[in-house]
Amino acid sequence: MRVGLFIPCYVDQFYPNAAIATLQLLEKLGCEVVYPQNQTCCGQPMANSGFEHLTHGCNELFIKNFDGFDYIVAPSGSCVLHVREHLHDEHDEAKAVDIRHKVYELTTFLTDILKVESLPARFPHKVGMHQSCHGQRGLKLSSMSELVAPAFSKPGSLLAMVKDIELIELNRVDECCGFGGTFCVAEEAVSSKMGKDRVADHLQHGAEYITGVDMSCLMHMEGILKRQGSNVKVMHIAEILNGVEN
């Protein structure tokens, strides 16, 4: 199985450990993983700001980089959702559609395609799982508190395979952290208040780490934790599932 590794721009630049863990984890599980080195960004920052018409270049690059793989996997629900919903090719739309169907968020790829049932990981800490909205409500990674439907969680089922991990409960199971792409600066006041409240819920329940499928939400919460002088760390779920303990 040839997997194209799609690493979002800000993960590439700021959180290489999340990317390395994703790569190692996929390799550990038997995938042939290739990282196309000319990738940049999926174009989501422009699109969510109303500038979808400026994303042609990013789309072209994405298609050029990821054409021909069996699957494309990324450690980000948000970027995958953007590609799934908005990747187009004005010359060859069929190709874009093909890629849209082949792109997977990491935890879904593990549960739905690789059908992982056990992992050799250990993480002896109290961990809070942040449900990132685009992954949860957009890609349906977990059940949503608003809907009358059976409960499930793809990332949760993977974390349950990790030895000695203690997952904490939250008062608000799936409240948004307030990152929201350019929202975090355009609406700084509300964004940071949302982040503070989200972090407080985790802290109140004794989290030592906050994890999730989207590094962007975690980056936002990390910024708040650091400002508060907290020892609580954020860590992408790939790093926990890969068994790397920092």
d(Cα 119, Cα 158) in Å, to the nearest integer? 8
DSSP 89: -
CB of 39 to other proteins, least distance (A): 7
Of 47 and 127, nearer to other proteins (C-beta) is 47
Pairing of strands 126-130, 166-167: parallel
Of 96 and 165, nearer to other proteins (C-beta) is 96
Residue 2 as a binder of other proteins (CB under 8 A): the answer is no
- Count interface residues toward other proteins (CB under 8 A): 73
At residue 148's C-alpha, the angle toward residues 154 and 213, to 5°, is 25
Question: What's the number of CA atoms in the CB half-sphere (13 Å) around residue 11?
Answer: 30
Residue 108 as a binder of other proteins (CB under 8 A): the answer is no
Residue 237 as a binder of other proteins (CB under 8 A): the answer is no
Binds other proteins (CB under 8 A): choice among 31, 219, 235, 241: 219
3-class SS letters over 151-216: CCEHHHHHHCCCECCEECCCCCCCCCCCCCCCHHHHCHHHHHHHHHHHHHHHHHCCCCEEEECCHH
Of 180 and 212, nearer to other proteins (C-beta) is 180
Q: Which of residues 24-83 bind other proteins (CB under 8 A)?
A: 35, 37-41, 43, 45-55, 57-58, 61
CB of 136 to other proteins, least distance (A): 8
Residue 192 as a binder of other proteins (CB under 8 A): the answer is yes
**Would you give the binding string for other proteins spanning residues 126-155, x where CB under 8 A is met?**
-------xx--xx-----xxxxxx------
CB of 161 to other proteins, least distance (A): 25
CB of 178 to other proteins, least distance (A): 6
Binds other proteins (CB under 8 A): choice among 162, 194, 207, 213: 194
